[in-house]
Structure 1
Amino acid sequence: MFTSLLNRIIVAALLIIAFSVLVVLDSFWLNFAVFALLLCVAMYESLPLYGLNQKFLIIIALVFFSFSIFLNPLFAMLTMLCLVAGGVAFVKSPEPKLILPFLYPAAPVFALFALLNECGMLCLVWLVITVATSDTAAFACGKILRLKKPDILRSLSPASPNKSIQGALAGVILGSFAGALYASIFVDVSFFVALGASVLACVFGVFGDLFESYLKRLSDVKDSGKILGEHGGVLDRFDAIFFGAIAMLVVLA
């Protein structure tokens, strides 16, 4: 157990360091390369969740992501979804679910990159702080109540029985406060806009977490991958951020 905890701490520290370097350098080409890698790994992890093994789908997503070099990532995403759906219909594919990995996780990766490009690195940091605080608060609250007052816990959803309503509420409240505080200081938005965007990011993040749990439960797997060691896969760590990015784009764009 100690080794497992130590591994989680080490991986978490490395992720924080890597993200800090990305924030400090804030280079378009470095950002593009990191997001392209994120897209590839996320797509790779998603295929088994949908019962697919067509690795060429990753290449298709990467080709369309390259359009983000000279095009708004949201337009690149819409183009990808339309052409992939049209292509599946054109060849009369017996597997219409080929479109699913492009809806998730590809589309949210495009949205996350759009948030960075259109709103700036400070907004990406805002999103990460908001969702990370929400996740941590929800986990801590659930653990504490499970130890002290297990009878009052109520499951949030059948998709993830271990997540409680009380934990989710604590996460949304504390995550929203942390996000609003950060944005009102470092981002050029009013406190009410900062609070509204943070609340939406936390709520969407909860749904992102539930959706990932739902997919894993259907596939009967514990984690989406092993690339992050004890933390699981990329989708296990980014599910809430992917959905949260869409919420922030709705408010800020």
Structure 2
Amino acid sequence: MTTYLWNPPAVQSLPVRGKTECLPVNRLFFVGRNYHAHAVEMGSPVDKVAERAFYFTKSHHSLVESGATVPYPPETKNYHYEMELVLVIGKAGFRIPEAQAHEHIYGYATGLDMTRRDLQLVAREKGRPWDMGKDLEQGAVCSEVVPMPGVVLDKGEIELAVNGVTKQKSDLSKLIWNIREIIADLSLYYHLQPGDLIYTGTPEGVGPVLSGDKITGHVEGVGSLELNIGPAE
């Protein structure tokens, strides 16, 4: 029996609608610039014909459930929200054909990719990794998981509000790389595993929040989330 110097971290998990069991979370993948209008507002338009999708990751220890209050993070003055549909993998796969992508879908959730935008942009300009801007503590928010085995979502409203004022509003039909394409492409790089979460990208309208703000959002047919921004530590 293995013993440790201190207690290992608890298994990260999410509640599942209609079930008493929780879903153990494996890895957190994020698709970058997957809505044209958002890519444009970030100053990096996407040409799908000439480019492939690109991804970044966050530690699963950055995961926090919807409804939480999180502190305004350190070392930033420009903390941004990004509302996203979260795809939940339920079956292992590697080099998955697009036609079989649906077989690997367990369900969906709603999520926030919270970002220290000032740090991200500095890193981008200097050609450095985005980790300090993206992989921050309590910076990956996720709702309960909604089981939808085999269902491929190709449309549905996605919306976010701050203090009741709508900031982001678009439709899943505007994804540059759709659900099947994301699964097939990401599985060329990684052996996808049950519990992998794929944040599929955010629409235009990203912007800053401050201590005391409340973020709410929803994806049609999936569900809603909320996040409260507390005082800085």
TM-score (norm 2): 0.29
Larger radius of gyration: 1
Q: Which has a greater percent of strand?
A: 2
Q: Which has a greater percent of helix?
A: 1
